[in-house]
Amino acid sequence: MYTTCPKCKHERQAEEKTNPDICPACGIIFSKWMKQQFSSPETQRATRNKVKNSVTPGLVNIISSSLFFVEDKVNPFVFYGRALLFIGIALWGWQFINMDFINNPMAIGSSYMHRVNLIFHEAGHVIFMPFGWFMTKLGGTLGQLLMPVVVMLTFLIKSKNNFGASVGLWWLGQSFKDCAPYIDDALDQKLVLLGGFTGADKPGSHDWTNILSEFDKIDKHREIATKFDNIGTTLILIALAWGAYLLYKQFKNLDSI
């Protein structure tokens, strides 16, 4: 078709027996190139928008169908069990949201969920130990944050139980808030740690004193703790909104007994 490529200016040689519609040097397809060159700007924009719009709804539909899927027929016993659980975590979540980690840091530390988080916090230290001193210290916080994520993804992807995933997200938010008093204590080191001593009693034992000191950010302890607390509040509220919407949809699909 072309003896000289309009894009790379390669001159086709007689011994080049490739498809005459394809440049042997740069590989452009001449017929498509011509169509693109001579099409109007409106046509080009319409083509781009068509491709964009065909991809976006597909992605949105996949996410929506996963996050908000509801069975055609919902077992009433399962539904009301979920409803009771939702009421429980809604009331509990509201308590956590109203806890003041600055003036009353022990409030969240004395909760049942703190004991649950503590198991995975300590496990995180062990799991991340092979990655060095810093990751060992950070591993406690990572451990207690990663476990709710694992629970959430397991419910969402493997079990196809998006209501269970919303509870996992609630736990993640609660775990973020659980970290806030510990981070805020990095400077004063007054909180009693697992061994019965404070960070001040045993220098080098306070995770967040070590973490923030490593980056010379110890003076930012309150700011970072507040961010963790705010993230936790946001995640709890999102989880409750997600769970409430799922229950609403499930209620409409209740199976008759």
Q: Nearest 5 degrees, angle CA 142-CA 193-CA 88?
A: 65
Domain ranges of the chain: 73-252
pLDDT digits (tens, 9 = 90+) for 229-251: 999 999 999 999 999 999 999 99
Which has the closest alpha carbon to 230: 184, 188, 185, 198? Answer: 184
| Burial label, 59 (beta-carbon count in 10 A; 0-12, 13-18, 19+) | exposed
- What single DSSP character describes residue 155? I
Neighbours of 113 (CB within 10 A): 15
pLDDT digits (tens, 9 = 90+) for 135-185: 999 999 999 999 999 999 999 988 889 999 999 999 999 999 999 999 999
β partners of residue 22? 29
The Cα 222–Cα 173 span in angstroms is: 18
Determine the pLDDT at residue 43: 56
Question: CA–CA distance from 24 to each of 1, 16, 33, 36, 154 (Å)?
Answer: 12, 8, 15, 20, 50
Neighbours of 124 (CB within 10 A): 24
Q: For residue 29, give the 3-state DSSP assignment.
A: strand
